[in-house]
Amino acid sequence: MVPKERYVHLIDLILHDNSITLTAGADQTVISAVRCDSRTVNAGTLFVCIAGETSDGHDFIADACSAGASAILTDGRPVSVPDGVAVITAANVAHAYGRLCSRFWPRRSGMLVGVTGTNGKTSVCEYLRQIWQLATWPAAAMGTLGITCPADKVADTVTTLTTPQAETLFSNLDLLADAGISHTAFEASSHGLAQGRLSGLGVNVAVFTNLSRDHLDWHSDMDQYFDAKARLFDENLMDGGIAVINNDDAYGKALIKRLAGRHIVLWTVGMSAESAFCIKDITPQSFGLDLSLSHQGQVFHFPIALSGQFQAVNAVMAAVAAYASGMPLQDSFGALPSLQPVRGRMQPVHGHPLGARVIIDYAHTPDALAAALNALRAETSGNLFVVFGCGGDRDKGKRAQMGQVATDKANHVIITDDNPRTEDPALIRDEIRTGCPDSVAVWPRDNAIRQAITQMSAHDSLLIAGKGHETVQMIGTETLPFDDAAVARNTIARLQEDSAC
């Protein structure tokens, strides 16, 4: 996605923003881009000095100026810049960066829906995009999978973060609007919200899926993690907007109380009877699931071609968000039978010669792993296998918990590697296995997947968890090609060849 050239006077970016002060240079300085990485600076760039966890942008001011920066945003510390370079300051540079980007790239789709929560963000966004698209509304989804939209609208839109840096987020939103995308759903991560990447962005609809342990290597505790997620509703949901909240979740209930007094519309979704949109029954079938739900006395029945109760809940959340965006209720719910699985989310890999079931899922938290295994257990008459690992340089506290979940819910547990990064993979595996001492450890990951698939019998199921859509494995400082689905497909193909002999 290549942004169009744009030129804006500095004064137009900082006018009426009392948190930003011009301390040197001219407010008529022309800005051609906003960047926080000095390596991407060129003539006319406003360089933003963010003090990060591993580096400080203030250390790269000279590099940015040499590359042609026309203005610098700092936290107020004394800096030296060449004559003619403007200096602006803000107490909270990261949040000011978001607001500056929102003004530099001001165009938006007419309908913006932000989705936050620990699990389900990607699925809700993609299901919502599909529902809009089925109604022939030009639509896009932004998040962990990159940007999904009609092929003729925007080219090549890969991102590496669930919620990208503000310059990427706002330039992408601007370009989608320019391409005629009228409806956009995006994932709002706790990191992105806490770091102010969404500062200055107003949303029409905000969706909360759930909250459970994740990212506690970064957030100090669950309360701080919840506060970060709640920012989408506190700061980004516009007055008069609609909040769609899963009130089966304890933190969803807390969010409902938190929003009391806000000038917004609040819709609840869940299996509890008091939910405005009540999921009355989810029954596994050979094709997927039978879904029954009610709203204001009306009862709806739909077949959906998805696996797992949690995915049915995600689909309903998306349908309610579509209704909140202006789609008639019958149309939004009526689209549910047409929904297609999301890549890396309960994604089937077909063709096992014995008819065994192989599923790829992104589950990388204790709750997500439990939900995926529960879903497969309900649909499996034979043995349930699981292959998973835990990421290195990330929350260590969830490793034994995930091991315990696996041993509680699966018959055969194989522990392997999942982006060990700079940690010793063997130590990560050992920490997981404190929760599942009867498991086996197999590495590298492709060997673990092959072993599980070849051990399966008819009526068995296998969950390959943790990486989902990812196409790389991070080992040490290297990023190597790796795709769970490709390994599974190749293994099944070899089994098919062997069975034909």
pLDDT digits (tens, 9 = 90+) for 142-195: 999 999 998 655 544 545 567 788 999 999 999 999 999 999 999 999 889 989
Q: Determine the Cα–Cα distance for residues 110 and 148; give it in Å rounded to an integer.
A: 17
Instruction: Specify the pLDDT at position 156.
Output: 47
If one counts the domains in the chain, the total is 3
Of 310, 338, 366, the residue that ends a domain is: 338
Mention every residue, 6+ apart, whose C-beta is less than 8 A from residue 175. 1, 3, 4, 154
Residue 83: the pLDDT is 94
- State whether 91 and 115 are in the same domain: no
Boundary (domain end) residue, out of 338, 370, 393: 338
Assess if residue 1 is contained within a domain: no
Count of residues making up the chain:
501
| 196 and 320 both lie in a single domain | yes
**Domain membership flag for residue 445:** yes
% the chain with pLDDT above 90: 86
Same domain as 299, residue 152: yes
Task: Encode pLDDT of 346-385 as tens digits.
Answer: 999 999 999 999 999 999 999 999 999 999 999 899 999 9
Candidates 415, 416, 420, 429; CA nearest to 394 is 420
Which residue range is the domain that position 463 belongs to? 347-500
Same domain, 112 and 72: no
Bond from prior residue into 444 cis (ω within 30 degrees of 0): yes
Nearest-angstrom CA–CA distance, 34 and 88: 13
CATH number at residue 114: 3.40.1190.10
Both 408 and 421 in one domain: the answer is yes
Nearest residue to 487 via CA among 285, 393, 349, 356: 349
Return d(Cα 109, Cα 127) in angstroms, integer: 18
Phi-psi label, residue 412: left if phi above 0, alpha if psi -120 to 50, beta otherwise? beta
Does 319 score more than 70 pLDDT?
Answer: yes
Q: What is the mean pLDDT of residues 214-223?
A: 69
- Tens-place pLDDT, residues 383-427: 999 999 999 999 999 999 999 999 999 999 999 999 999 999 999
Report the half-sphere exposure of 364 (CA within 13 A, side-chain side).
Answer: 22
Q: Quick one: CA torsion of 449, 451, 452, 456, rounded to 10 degrees?
A: 140
How many other CB atoms are found less than 10 A from the CB of residue 178? Answer: 14
In this structure, what token pair is assigned to residue 433? 């296995």
| Domain assignment of residue 3, yes or no | no
- Of 408, 406, 407, which Cα lies nearest the Cα of 466? 406
Kindly state the percentage of the chain with pLDDT values over 70.
95
Whether the per-residue pLDDT at 3 is higher than 70: the answer is: no
Per DSSP bridges, beta strands 472-475 and 478-481 are: antiparallel
pLDDT score at 215:
61
What is the CATH classification number for the domain harbouring 56? 3.40.1390.10
Return the biggest CA–CA distance within the chain. Answer: 78
In Å, what is the CA distance from 111 to each residue of 43, 92, 226, 259? 34, 29, 25, 22
State whether 151 and 291 are in the same domain. yes
Asked whether residue 463 is domain-assigned, the answer is yes
Residues 99, 118 within the same domain = no
Residue 186 lies in a domain: yes
**Does one domain contain both 450 and 371?**
yes
Query: Which CATH number do you get for residue 425?
Result: 3.90.190.20
